[in-house]
Amino acid sequence: MAGSIEQRKSEHIQITLNEKVTGDAITTGFESYAFIHNALPEIDFADISTEAEFLGHACRTPFLISSMTGGTALAETINRNLAEAAEERGWALALGSTRALLDSDGHPPSFLMRRYAPNVPIIANIGAVQFNYGYGIDECRRIVELTEADMLVLHLNSIQEVVQDGGDTNFRALLGKIETLCTGLGVPVGVKEVGWGIDGETARRLTDAGIAFVDVAGAGGTSWSQVEKFRSKDPVRRAAAEAFSDWGIPTADSVRMVRAEIGGRTLVASGGMRTGLDAAKALALGADFVGFGRSILKEATQSTEDVLESMAVREMELRMAMFGIGASNLRELKDTPRLVRKGF
Bind-site residues for FMN: 66-69, 97, 125, 192, 222, 272-274
Residues belonging to the binding site for Mg(2+) are: 161
**Among the residues of 24-157, which ranges form H helices?**
73-89, 137-147
Between CA 195 and CA 339 the distance in angstroms is 24
Residue 257, CA distances (Å) to 186, 219, 289, 293 in order:
29, 14, 16, 22
Between CA 344 and CA 342 the distance in angstroms is 6
3-state secondary structure 89-103: HCCEEECCCCHHHHC
Cβ atoms of 312 and 86 closer than 8 Å: no
210 backbone φψ class: left, alpha, beta (φ>0; ψ -120 to 50) = left
Residues belonging to the binding site for substrate are: 8-9, 97-99, 160
Contacts of 311 (CB under 8 A, 6+ apart): 63, 85, 89, 91, 296
Helix axes 73-89, 304-325, angle to 10 degrees: 40
Between CA 269 and CA 214 the distance in angstroms is 9
Between CA 181 and CA 136 the distance in angstroms is 8
Apex 244 CA angle, 128 and 100, nearest 5: 30
Q: Hey, how many other C-beta atoms are within 10 angstroms of the C-beta on 212? A: 18
Residues belonging to the binding site are: 8-9, 66-69, 97-99, 125, 160-161, 192, 222, 272-274
Phi, psi of 28 (to 5 degrees): -70, -20
- 122, β-bridge pairs: 93
Between CA 227 and CA 211 the distance in angstroms is 28
